[in-house]
Amino acid sequence: MTAGYGKKRDFSQTPEPKARRGEKDDARIFVIQKHDASSLHYDFRISVGGALKSWAIPKGPSTDPRDKRLALPTEDHPRDYADFEGVIPEGEYGAGTVLVWDRGTWENITRKGDGIVSAEKALEQGHLLMHLEGEKISGGYALQRTDTGDDEKWLLVKMDDDAADARRNPVSTQPESVISKRTIAQVRRQEGDGDAEDAS
Ligand code: MN
């Protein structure tokens, strides 16, 4: 499931984790990694069937139900990636700095009639409703596919519930890691090799 992940990376060069084979763990976790690469984005990942389904969200998640955040699908990542913070060296795929911006558990709440639609089926059909319990974002979120094929695009939208709040803007007011409390600049300074470009 994560073959595409391994093909893109040289594990003798990048500190990112390798995929372990045959790993199966049904605990439903989600993580949002802030990734200061060639362009800054937020990698939104949810565990489905032992891997992390992944989307790159240029503006990050919103807590305002009126915002529709573009989410571009990327390759499945191994579950171990959820804890990864560090610097991906120049020349490697995704070169730049990564921190764990938010994490927690997720539940599939996609329904049809009286029943729950499986996460796999919901993703196949391009419409997934999630309940997230993170440290910065929580409550209902919808992922909706708007374009298919080579230009596949999704939107991430906050559902209008108790956790919705148009006045919050956690992407700008809470920029730090939920694991280490570090900012992108601090991770880069502490874990970079010292000659990486200082993109802010
Ligand atoms: Mn990324």
Q: What are the tens digits of pLDDT across the range 133-144?
A: 999 999 999 999
Q: Which helix (H) or strand (E) holds 185?
A: helix 184-191
Q: Which residues contact 198 (CB under 8 A, 6 or more apart)?
A: 188
Residue 134: give the domain boundaries.
Answer: 27-191
Ligand 1 centroid distance, CA of 112 (Å): 32
Ligand 1 centroid distance, CA of 44 (Å): 9
pLDDT of residue 143: 98
Q: pTM for the whole thing?
A: 0.90
What's the number of domains the chain is made of? Answer: 1
Is 128 within the bounds of a domain? yes
Where does 39-157 have alpha helices with state H? 119-125
Is 62 within the bounds of a domain? yes
Ligand 1 centroid distance, CA of 42 (Å): 7
Ligand 1 centroid distance, CA of 124 (Å): 22
pLDDT of residue 128: 97
Is 74 within the bounds of a domain? yes
Ligand 1 centroid distance, CA of 29 (Å): 18
pLDDT of residue 107: 95
Ligand 1 centroid distance, CA of 116 (Å): 30
pLDDT at 199 over 90: no
Is 21 within the bounds of a domain? no
> What radius of gyration do the chain's Cα atoms show?
17
Is 185 within the bounds of a domain? yes
pLDDT in tens, 26-59: 569 999 999 999 999 999 999 998 899 999 999 9
Is 14 within the bounds of a domain? no
Q: Which helix (H) or strand (E) holds 171?
A: helix 170-173
Is 196 within the bounds of a domain? no
Q: Are strands 138-147 and 40-48 parallel, antiparallel or unpaired?
A: unpaired
86 Rama sector, left if φ>0, alpha if ψ -120 to 50, beta otherwise:
left
Is 177 within the bounds of a domain? yes
pLDDT of residue 80: 93
Strands of the chain (E only): list them. Answer: 29-36, 40-48, 51-57, 68-78, 86-88, 96-108, 111-112, 115-116, 127-134, 138-147, 153-158
